[in-house]
Amino acid sequence: MQTIMFTMVPGFEKIVVDEINSTLTTAKVVEVLRGKVLINGCFSLNELCQLRCVDNIYYYIAKINVGPHKKDLEKFEQDIAKISFQKAIEFLNLSKKPIIIVSASKKGKQTYSRFDLSDKATMAISKNNGYKIGDSLEHNLAIRFDLNNTECMISVQLTKADFKFRGSAYEFQPGGIRPTIANALVKLSMPTAEDVFYDPFCGSGTISRERAFYDAKRILASDINPKVIESARINVPSKVKIFCCDARRLKVQDNSIDVIVSNIPWGKQIEVENVYELYISFLKEAKRVLSSKGRMVLLTDREEIVDAAEEVGFKIEKLMTISLHGLLPNVYRIME
């Protein structure tokens, strides 16, 4: 029996739990924290990597208590010396002696830094296990310490740093979102094999690329910027139709689209002269092209979307708030 920890964008925990229940059917969810979900079960790494909404996967090791004062790090070092990482090493099937790198995060009031925490842990683990200390370029065992007030969770990273980017060459454009976020948005749209799907602010094509992992009647994606359209053509599979188009004047027929999912402009990384007017114009076009049962899932941190949707005659529901790049954007469902 293993305990596995998945990390995700804070706010998407329920989506990940639903994905676990549908993909890893024998898993038991044992704890849900902000940005983390822990399960019990017996799985291979390949099975765990089927989840498409998680950023990283960790082998849970232990929880220990750590005091708030710098002097408490002496006991912390002693407690770390008693912890074995052997099960995680066996799970990873390491063929060479471990070369470690240790990272730490902390919340709460402590008189030491996260670097003090990681330095103490590194020295204790290396000394008591005989592991070589590596760096960001050379290591085969990445150990993580998450301190929340006085409770510290210890885990070993199972996935590479580029796992959340699908581990492949990918051309990102300003204002884009990573694939795991895009997949969560797609799941919120309740995809079916009969959908005609459209992302009218496609940027580098991440959302349409993630939608292409699931059956659909047709997948469309467009953007007003010819430069990002070229990136999207590189990124998405051939079954996605990519074209250059202003979202205020969509080049699609009336009532022809079942689902729109998009990371619409926030006016941050991509400058927008008047966000409200853009939203009004886009939503009027969306109303024209959506089928009678059409629906939208939109990501933005701008509250103007609520007034704009209501003015155009849509019903709008805030599904969740997520934490992204230091901002707190909302995910909205919009329907007739």
Do 120 and 30 have their domain in common? yes
Same domain, 232 and 313: yes
Statement: residue 268 has pLDDT above 80 = no
pTM of the model: 0.94
pLDDT at residue 269 greater than cutoff 60: no
Angle 93-95-96 (CA atoms, 0-180°, nearest 5)? 130
The residue out of 111, 131, 164 marking a domain boundary is 164
The confidence score (pLDDT) of residue 267 equals 65
* Mean pLDDT taken over the chain: 95
Looking at residues 56-66, what average pLDDT do you find?
98
Mean pLDDT, range 86-90, rounded to an integer: 96
Q: Could you give the number of structural domains in the chain?
A: 2
Per DSSP, helices labelled H in 99-164 are: 114-129
Residues 137 and 172 in one domain: no
Q: What is the CATH number of the domain that holds 279?
A: 3.40.50.150
User: Do 150 and 67 contact (CB within 8 A), yes or no?
Assistant: yes
Nearest alpha carbon to residue 250 among 277, 221, 229: 221
Share of residues in the chain with pLDDT > 90 (%): 91
239 plus 296 within the same structural domain: yes
Q: 258 and 154: one domain?
A: no
Residue 271: what pLDDT?
61
Q: What digits encode the pLDDT tens for the residues 297-327? A: 999 999 999 999 999 999 999 999 999 989 9
Residues 205 and 301 reside in one and the same domain: yes
Q: Are residues 202 and 280 in the same domain?
A: yes
Confidence of residue 95 (pLDDT cuts 50, 70, 90): confident
pLDDT tens figures, 169-202: 677 777 789 999 999 999 999 999 999 999 999 9
pLDDT tens string 12-52 = 999 999 999 999 999 999 999 999 999 999 999 999 999 99
For residues 205 and 326, what is the distance between their CA atoms, to the nearest angstrom? 23
Same domain membership, residue 218 and residue 105: no
Query: What is the pLDDT, as a whole number, of residue 273?
Result: 75
Instruction: Summarize the confidence of residues 231-256 as an average pLDDT.
Output: 96
Q: Are 148 and 184 within one domain?
A: no
- Across the strands, what pairs with 6? 37, 57
How many C-beta atoms surround the C-beta of residue 168 within 10 A?
A: 8
Co-location of 170 and 270 in the same domain: yes
Last residue of one domain, picked from the residues 113, 140, 164:
164
Domain that holds residue 79: 2-164
Same domain membership, residue 182 and residue 158: no
pLDDT score for 310: 97
Tokens encoding 181: 């976020």
In 3-state terms, the chain is what percent helix, strand and coil (to 5)? 30, 30, 40
Structure tokens at 129: 């296990």
Residue with tokens 């990371």: 263
pLDDT at 176: 83
Residues 188 and 297: their CA atoms lie apart, in Å, by 7
Query: Is residue 174 domain-shared with residue 216, that is, in the same domain?
Result: yes
Whether the CB-CB separation of 287 and 248 falls below 8 Å is answered with no
C-alpha distances (whole Å) from 196 to each of 51, 102, 284 are 24, 46, 19
User: Is the pLDDT confidence value at 74 over 70?
Assistant: yes
Share of the chain above pLDDT 70, in %: 97
Encode pLDDT of 107-135 as tens digits. Answer: 999 999 999 999 999 999 999 999 999 99
CATH label of the domain that carries residue 69: 3.30.2130.30
Give the end of a domain, one of 140, 164, 188.
164
